[in-house]
């Protein structure tokens, strides 16, 4: 059984907090490629940023997501990913019209269940790394809701509950 599990969905929907709770419980967690790229680019005054050069940004995200997927291959327990290759390939199609979703999505499989953080206005916050609006995040969410099932994944929408309860929900769902 595939042990690489994706937490995706709406930007600002509580994914990072959930993943931190899973990390604190001893699970391996792979941080979101997009956040890592933005941090690196801001630090070196780079331009591969979603608000400057979205195509360069998502191409870097694809490369990073593939490397993350490969590095988790030998792990025996659950490995939780903050977004995936599917998210990056979907963003590339949206930004440039390039369609690599099917090719990359089939070559790099994750667990069949993908957990989706729904749009949650009450907790959404923009910051120096997340500059897009809540409405833009909700549009991305709807796009991903279509893209994951097109590759055979089953979406499990996370309930809007506390972080510890969300972590319990994810682990219970995976064990069932």
The domain limits of the chain are 4-175
pLDDT number for residue 130: 57
What's the predicted TM-score (pTM) here? 0.89
pLDDT number for residue 124: 63
Instruction: State what percent of residues in the chain have pLDDT above 90.
Output: 55
DSSP class of 58: H
CATH class (in words) of the domain with range 4-175: alpha beta
Please say whether the beta carbons of 168 and 128 come within 8 A: no
DSSP class of 122: T
Helix, strand, or coil (residue 98): coil
pLDDT number for residue 7: 98
Q: Give 97-143 pLDDT, tens digit per residue.
A: 888 888 888 889 999 999 999 987 676 666 666 556 777 778 889 99
* Band of pLDDT at residue 175, cut at 50, 70 and 90: very high
Roughly what angle, to the nearest 10 degrees, separates helices 15-24 and 163-175?
Answer: 70
**Distance between CA atoms of residues 49 and 47, nearest Å:** 5
Which run of H or of E encompasses 56? helix 54-71
């Amino acid at each position: 059984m595939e042990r690489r599990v994706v937490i995706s969905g709406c930007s600002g929907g509580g994914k990072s907090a959930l993943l931190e709770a899973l990390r604190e419980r001893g699970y391996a967690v792979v941080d979101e490629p997009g956040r890592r790229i933005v941090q690196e680019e801001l630090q070196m005054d780079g331009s591969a940023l979603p608000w400057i050069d979205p195509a360069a940004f998502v191409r870097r995200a694809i490369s990073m997501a593939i490397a993350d997927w490969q590095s988790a291959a030998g792990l025996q327990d659950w490995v939780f990913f903050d977004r995936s290759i599917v998210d990056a390939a979907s963003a590339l199609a949206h930004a440039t019209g390039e369609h690599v979703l099917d090719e990359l999505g089939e070559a790099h499989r994750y667990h069949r269940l993908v957990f989706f953080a729904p749009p949650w206005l009450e907790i959404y916050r923009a910051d120096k790394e997340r500059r897009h609006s809540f409405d833009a995040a909700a549009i991305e969410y709807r796009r991903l809701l279509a893209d994951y099932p097109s590759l055979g994944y089953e979406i499990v929408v996370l309930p809007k509950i506390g972080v510890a309860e969300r972590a319990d929900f994810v682990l219970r769902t995976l064990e069932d």
